[in-house]
């Protein structure tokens, strides 16, 4: 039997509309240019395109960082939706987790009809990022993308990103989350979002398959998103928000292989690669380990 060729579309977004350059804003290009094309070729993939969501010159002049973030995410939505309609597997290279809304919106509006698809989310992060303006201690928007995406706060920003309707919280599963603010944890407990623990990941627990099956029964497609701070801090020393107790990239790759064996999973996004703070390439290798796990999972699917 001829080996399956996986057609890949890369979707990038730079700092989600921010005008302030940082090491994270360089992350998408660094992840792609460091050897990703060669890895995909080695794995037998066909890289069809690589596109970057950027603001138009007119949008760049518009006032408000959150407003521009919404506009940038809407462009990302259009890229992802087009790739989905053409049957490409989207690999998201994201400067930070605020790109979540654009990735979800692209899946939501990438179906064969105008009816929005029901999108499931596997959220892999050391943090829940389900803070709202009422629960946050830091005030960081970067701690709110799951809350925004599930309709718990900032509905105008969500709609600006093109994500409408919001995801019900039962469409979400969290993984490796281990650092939450007190009121954020209280909110998380009330949502009853299931959690795949680091131990589940290390053990390749049946819990992973059960969660994939659960999402597949209530949604049309599932997006898997990882922030690099989910990993063991030894592999992401340049990331400013690491938390002890995370899985290694090899452990995560094996768990991702399990996730992507399920036909409901349709895209993978990696956020917050610390470009410029990875002198020995350790974190980049971690990214590529995880991408390899994803591709292996796709190859293992039943024909």
Question: What does the domain layout of the chain look like in residue ranges?
Answer: 6-299
**Residues of the chain by 3-state class (helix, strand, coil), percent to 5:** 45, 15, 40
pLDDT score at 3: 60
pLDDT score at 23: 56
Domain 6-299 grouped into CATH 3.20.20.70: no
Q: Report the C-alpha gap between 246 and 235 in whole angstroms.
A: 10
Task: Choose between 142 and 20: higher pLDDT.
Answer: 142
At 74-126, the pLDDT tens digits run 999 999 999 999 999 999 999 999 999 999 999 999 999 989 999 999 999 99
Residue 142 has a CB neighbour count (10 Å cut-off) of 18
% residues pLDDT > 90 (the chain): 90
Over 90: is that where the pLDDT of 265 sits? yes
Rounded mean pLDDT, 57-65: 91
State the pLDDT confidence band at 302, using cuts at 50, 70 and 90.
Answer: confident
Q: Report the C-alpha gap between 217 and 211 in whole angstroms.
A: 10
Over 50: is that where the pLDDT of 20 sits? no
**Helix boundaries (H) for the chain:** 27-33, 36-42, 57-60, 65-85, 100-108, 145-149, 155-161, 182-191, 198-203, 206-218, 249-260, 282-299
Over 90: is that where the pLDDT of 143 sits? yes
pLDDT score at 15: 66
Residue 191 in contact with residue 139, Cβ under 8 Å?
no
195-196 and 6-13 beta bridge pairing: unpaired
Rounded mean pLDDT, 232-261: 96
CA-wise closest residue to 34 among 281, 244, 264: 281
Confidence (pTM): 0.95
pLDDT score at 24: 59
Rounded mean pLDDT, 142-166: 97
Distances (CA, A) of 81 to 109, 114, 132, 202, 261: 6, 11, 28, 33, 22
Tokens (6 digits) for 290: 């995880």
Over 50: is that where the pLDDT of 1 sits? no
State the pLDDT confidence band at 21, using cuts at 50, 70 and 90.
Answer: very low
pLDDT score at 19: 47
Q: Report the C-alpha gap between 50 and 91 in whole angstroms.
A: 9
Site of tokens 């989910």: 230
């Amino acid at each position: 039997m001829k080996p399956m060729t996986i057609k890949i579309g890369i979707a990038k977004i730079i700092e989600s509309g921010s005008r302030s350059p940082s090491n994270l804003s360089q992350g998408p290009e660094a992840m792609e240019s460091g050897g990703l094309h060669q890895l995909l070729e080695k794995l037998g993939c066909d890289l069809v395109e690589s596109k970057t969501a950027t603001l138009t010159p007119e949008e760049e002049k518009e006032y408000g960082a959150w407003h521009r973030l919404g506009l940038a995410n809407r462009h990302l939505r259009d890229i992802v939706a087009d790739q989905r309609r053409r049957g490409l597997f989207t690999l998201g290279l994201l400067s930070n987790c605020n790109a979540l809304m654009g990735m979800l919106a692209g899946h939501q509006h990438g179906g064969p009809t105008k009816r929005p698809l029901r999108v499931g989310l596997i959220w892999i992060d050391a943090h829940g990022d389900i803070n709202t303006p009422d629960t946050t201690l830091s005030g960081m928007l970067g701690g709110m993308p799951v809350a925004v995406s599930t309709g718990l706060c900032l509905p105008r920003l969500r709609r600006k990103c093109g994500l409408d309707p919001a995801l019900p919280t039962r469409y979400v599963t969290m993984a490796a989350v281990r650092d939450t603010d007190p009121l954020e944890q209280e909110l998380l407990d009330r949502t009853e979002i299931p959690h795949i623990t680091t131990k589940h990941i290390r053990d390749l627990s049946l819990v992973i398959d059960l969660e994939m099956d659960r999402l597949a029964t209530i949604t049309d497609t599932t997006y898997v998103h990882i922030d690099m701070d989910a990993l063991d801090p030894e592999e992401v020393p340049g990331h400013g928000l690491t938390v002890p107790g995370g899985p290694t990239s090899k452990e995560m790759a094996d768990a991702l292989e399990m996730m992507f064996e399920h036909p409901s999973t349709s895209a993978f996004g990696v956020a917050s690669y610390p470009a410029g703070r990875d002198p020995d390439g350790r974190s980049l290798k971690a990214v590529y380990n995880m991408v390899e796990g994803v591709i292996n999972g796709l190859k293992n699917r039943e024909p």
